[in-house]
Structure 1
Amino acid sequence: MERPIRQVVKRLVMALVVLVATALVVYADREGYRDSSDGPVDLLDAFYYATVTLSTTGYGDITPVSDSARLTNILVITPLRVLFLIILVGTTLEVLTERTREEWRLNRWRSTLRDHTVVVGFGTKGRSAIQTVCVTGLKKEQVVVVDPSSKAIDAATAEGYAGVIGDATRSDVLRRAEVHKARQIIVAPQRDDTSVLVTLTARQLNRTAKIVAAVREEENAPLLKQSGADAVITSSGAAGRLLGLSVLSPAAGMVMEDLIQQGSGLDLVERPVVRGEVGKTPRETDDLVVSVLRGHRVLGYDDPSVGTLQLTDRLITIVRATPETRVTPGVRPLPPG
């Protein structure tokens, strides 16, 4: 769909072509016109006559006097005048209609959007994060991408996500993404300082949403925590650890890469304890339990303080990726690193 400004420019060019064509027609038959002020009609007079004629102003100072000039006005100039008006009026109506339709669509979209996911940055990290959460059953209509690049937003909307162009460090841009109604916010811009500012702004607007942010350098992770991020992923550190693990054991590196690639092979997921598992130890469950979430504590599967499983616990397990496990409610992937 063309942008309104491009439509206006295209129509203005068309109107200019009609104007020039009309002026050339008048100039070619200039002997049949009279200028009440100085008599002969030159090229400037031809453009002046074309302008006032096409705009229906019609001052009457330059008039066709010969039969050929009057016939040309009937057969050529009048259709050109109609075409000129159609171009200008059509442009105005089309732009206003498009703007009204867009405003209506945005207002309707905002009124129905609740508990969605806002992703700041549609680069490699942001795109991978969206793909991961969508594998677990999140609908594309529930994802809003915020990016300062119009090309990135065009790419996001082409994939079915909603897009907001702008600087996410500004609260008005995040409000347009309805961040105050979001359930989770993924902060994945290109710069660490931008991550900090976006996290601060997002936490100000939404006190309850889960915010996961990415940084390049580990030394900036504590600052993001203080800014309100619930979880911080260090991209350079995580990549470095995976590289080191792959050097020590290529097979182990392949397994770790498989675990963080959601939807294929083995998946690392978080799920609630079912009633049939209450009173059992983590080793007695059907799944391969890695850790137990009890309250705000993450306990290892072999931690003595775990004891037996409680109904309020959540389990971090390794499961074989299948279509059923990918869309099970309450099962969500864990962030890599």
Structure 2
Amino acid sequence: MANDPSETPMDAALRELFHREDRVPFVYWQEFTGTRTTVLLTGAVAVLAFVTGLSHLSQATLEFGGPLAPVLPVGRGTVENVVPFGVVLLAFVLGGLAVGLGRRLWIAWYGAVAALPVGAVLVFVTAEPTDVLLSCLSLGTVGLVVRNRAAFNRSLDLSGFQIAAIVAFVAGQLYGALGAYALRTQYDGIETWVDAFYYVIVTATTVGYGDATPATQQAKLFTLSAIVIVTGTFAVASGSLIVPALESRLSAAFGTMTASELALLEDHVLVLGYGDLTGSLLDELATTTDVVVVTSDGDTATALDERDVKVLTADPTEEESLLEARIDVARGVVAATEDDSGDILAVLAAREANPEIRIVAAASDHRHVGKFERVGANEVLSPAVIVGQQLSESVQDDVNRDRARARATDETGGANGTNGTSQADGTDDGATTARDGDPSSGSEHDGAT
């Protein structure tokens, strides 16, 4: 408006500092509803389900009277026996699914979508107040799982041997269970499908309680074949899955990130290689964002791991290594070692792995700045040039200060000299005036003469 007072420089500075055209969210909900929260809540549901199941098992008498209890496939009298064990089994299943979600596996996402509603409807079966918390947490978690569907897009990375071992294990279990049930009349202790599966499991794990035994020659021959097939496939399948897990733990012990840790990376900064410059860089960035160092030096990786720095022991010049470090969701890339040739290759690999990411590099030799820019670096800094500029500015500042000090001294001295001259001139003039105006002065002078 015309009557409004004109804006002062202070008002303009305050408006520029505090006024924002875009909306700033009061709470960043993505931080609380992202993939990490989803994984943690799934694990929390697993723990709570385990505790709830044990609580039901510890009770002497159970009478579940929920609205869904009559529609269960088991009889009314067996609900109290099936549900507690089912809840404990659900806890172990959800624990495995939480691990799969931590590795961003799509198959774990489908499993969580199928298993979490089971925990959500538990209270409608048991009508127990202690199950309300589990039902509410399961319902909230399944909503987060569905919301973050796009984040769980990794396929189950199994080798051909692992797939064959799992298929053989399933086939072996089916062979033993179907055979035992078909020959149940020739066994002591096998009457139902549950008895048949129980017999196969205790046989595969070499437990053998002795409560189910073959009673005829045909049943004994089948048992011998089941021991070889079921036990062998169980051992092979277990080894094919456990050995990679042990290798992963050994990798972590020697200073490299596991697959589950890498899968949880998001909006982080990748540091390609390690040197004197990156040492101070890690100290600056560690307090504000997640930093992952990619280096092929095992000793350096171990030292960084001891400092609680996330590190991936891999070649930073290989595109596969950068994809493993999730450069596709990283915030930026820094290449700042003392080896310009290695840094140039790392920048080139980073640009090929993610054409949109911001890359900052440091050129030890200022003549290589153009090469860094040509291979895809967005900004290139030369420590030698920066130090030279700072030294020049520091020297010039000192010279300018000395010159200003000398100029101030000269001006002060000149002013004092002028005042002294003026005072001297005034005294002489006064003396002359006195001599000219005093008659006695002349008389005395004449008399003396």
Using the size of structure 2 for normalisation, the TM-score is 0.32
Structure (1/2) with the larger strand percentage: 1
Structure (1/2) with the larger helix percentage: 2
Higher relative contact order (CA 8 A, sep 6+): 1
Using the size of structure 1 for normalisation, the TM-score is 0.42
